[in-house]
Amino acid sequence: MPLFLKPIFHEKIWGGNRLKELGYDLPSDCIGEAWGISAHPNGKCEILNGPYQGQTLDQVWNEHRELFGDFPSKEFPLMTKIVDAKEALSVHVHPDDAYAYEKENGQYGKSECWYIIDAKEDSEIIYGLSAETKELAIDKLNDGEYNGLFNKVKVKPGEFYFIPAGTIHSIGAGILVYETMQSSDVTYRVYDFDREHDSGHKRELDQGKAKDVIEIANENINIATDTEIIENHKRTQLVSNDFFTIVKWQISGTLNYMKPREFVLVSVLKGEGQVIIDGEVYDLNHGQNFILTSDDLDTIFEGDYELIVSYL
């Protein structure tokens, strides 16, 4: 039986209400993130169906590891979320595993990736630094010389970006992003456009740790994807590395699906249909998130919809 999950909403100073477009009932009009699949302490998604209904994903992970192929990790390793950037996010950076383990109480580092669901015309992300060396970048940060320091890239719907730990980045205003990442919430804020809290104080920066972990990344960041047609369905492998593999499926009709790993994370980006698992039928609509576990052997996707599937 799949594990359907209840999303967790996080208010952000830069958030909006566009997540309503995915069928979510939002608690306010400044929601920046919907954590769709998460066992992180800062957002533990609740199971909505079956014998584990009402339990959180971390509980099921800890008590029923057989559902995940007895995967040898203390913490559930991945997280998915949808980000609504009504305004630009802060410019920030995440540490790698080694740094986070030492400095952040044994947490995961954070490499992540973005699938651009929607973007207003001329919307931009920040990816990497214009400085040729880390030393030059740190000098500019020390001097507060932000103008021209951050690489800006115009984006459009359907594009995909991998952001390894150590890469300075930000999602710009008017962009809706599906994000898959290591299960981490460690962020070092570098620059925040001098925004203030409601209290009138500027939001805190964490440039000390940021300077420790930043790396210069100026390569071609819009990853070339690998697409194939399987049973009249379009399968696009977006990325595969040591942290995760991300695949986009465009389902049209009936697909007999074989899990590539013991468990996979699935999110419905648009459309509707059904998933039939070991003879049981479950309705699917945009905005839903679920996990196919080791117990889910015979899976059929049916309908017209788009999925993002993530796994280790």
pLDDT tens digits for 153-175?
999 999 999 999 999 999 999 99
Q: Which of 309, 233, 308, 306 is nearest to 273 (CA)?
A: 306
Residue type, 6: K
Q: What percent of the chain has pLDDT over 90?
A: 89
DSSP codes, 190-201: EE-TT-B-TTSP
67 lies in the same domain as 97? yes
Q: Which residue has the higher pLDDT, 219 or 33?
A: 33
Q: What is the CATH number of the domain that holds 273?
A: 2.60.120.10
Looking at the fold, whether 140 and 260 belong to one and the same domain comes out as no
Q: How many structural domains is the chain composed of?
A: 2
Average pLDDT over residues 121-136: 94
The verdict on 144 and 253 lying in the same domain is: no
11 in a labelled binding site: no
Is residue 90 assigned to a domain?
yes
Band of residue 201 on the pLDDT scale cut at 50, 70, 90 = confident
Select from 195, 196, 139, 141 the least CA-distant residue to 168.
141
- Decide which of 282 and 232 is more confident: 282
Distance of alpha carbon 133 from alpha carbon 178, whole angstroms: 31
> Is 169 part of any known ligand binding site?
yes
Residue that is written with structure tokens 């420790």 in the block: 212
Q: Cα separation of 56 and 46, whole Å? A: 4
Alpha helix stretches (DSSP H) within 172-213? 207-213
Q: Which of 225, 95, 208, 92 is nearest to 150 (CA)?
A: 92
112 is in an annotated binding site: yes
Q: Are residues 206 and 237 part of one domain? A: no
CA-CA distance, 187 to 174, in Å (whole number)?
22
299 neighbors 259 (Cβ within 8 angstroms): yes
Picking from 186, 211, 236, the residue at the C-terminal end of a domain is: 211
> Which residues lie across from 237 on neighbouring strands?
226, 247
- The answer to whether 15 touches 82, Cβ cutoff 8 Å, is no
pLDDT at 290 over 70: yes
Which residues are known to be catalytic?
189
In the structure, what pLDDT confidence band is assigned to residue 219 with cuts at 50, 70 and 90? Answer: low
Quote the CA–CA distance of 222 and 219 in Å, as a whole number: 9
Handedness of CA 40, 265, 171, 130 (dihedral sign): positive
* Residue 157 and residue 119 in contact, taking contact as beta carbons nearer than 8 Å: yes
d(CA 35, CA 56): 13
- Residue 216 placed within a domain: no
List, in sequence order, the alpha helices (H) in 144-260: 207-213
Q: Are residues 69 and 106 in the same domain?
A: yes
Residue 175 one-letter amino acid = I
Q: Which domain holds residue 230?
A: 224-309
82 domain residue, yes or no = yes
Position 15 scores a pLDDT of 97
Q: What mean pLDDT comes out for the span 37-60? A: 98
- State whether 174 and 78 are in the same domain: yes
3-class secondary structure, 229: strand
- Of 211, 243, 265, the last residue of a domain is 211
CA 183-155-135 angle, to 5 degrees, is 65
Helical spans, DSSP H, in 78-206: 97-103, 134-143
Rounded Cα distance between 232 and 245, Å, is 22
Task: Give CA–CA dist 311/183, Å, rounded.
Answer: 12
Contact 89, 124 (CB under 8 A): no
Query: What is the predicted pLDDT for the residue at 218?
Result: 52
231 token code pair: 């049973």
pLDDT tens for residues 235-251?
Answer: 999 999 999 999 999 99
The DSSP call for residue 166 is T
Residue 27 lies in a domain: yes
Q: Are 44 and 110 in a shared domain?
A: yes
